[in-house]
């Protein structure tokens, strides 16, 4: 579902984000790389952008 419908269409109650592992992990199965910090910041910004003002994000 495109992000533009989140919060605007009552049928949309969740978002799914796919992230390439090589952006934050050393492969195969190694430790997090320097991209992990940037990824965390980007995900936090996404949550802030889609969460209702003054609200909280529900967990599953």
Does 8 reside within a domain?
A: no
Query: With 80 as the cut, is the pLDDT of residue 60 above it?
Result: no
Does 36 reside within a domain?
A: yes
Q: Each residue of 11-49: b (16+ CB within 10 Å) or e?
A: eeeeeeeeeeeeebbeeeeeeebebeeebeeeeeeeeee
* pLDDT the model gives residue 27: 76
Reported as a pLDDT band with limits 50, 70 and 90, residue 1 is low
Best CA proximity match to 15, nearest among 56, 39, 46: 46
Does 27 reside within a domain?
A: yes
SS3 content of the chain, % helix, strand, coil (to 5): 35, 5, 60
* pLDDT the model gives residue 41: 92
Q: How many domains does the chain have?
A: 1
- 2-49 pLDDT, tens digit per residue, is 777 777 777 777 777 888 888 888 878 778 888 999 999 998 998 888
Query: With 70 as the cut, is the pLDDT of residue 59 above it?
Result: no
Does 12 reside within a domain?
A: no
């Amino acid at each position: 579902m495109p992000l533009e419908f989140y919060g605007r269409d009552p049928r949309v109650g969740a978002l799914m984000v796919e992230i390439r592992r090589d952006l934050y992990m050393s492969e195969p199965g190694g430790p997090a790389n320097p991209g992990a910090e940037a990824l965390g910041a980007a995900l936090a910004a996404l949550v802030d952008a889609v969460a209702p003002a003054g609200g909280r994000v529900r967990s599953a």
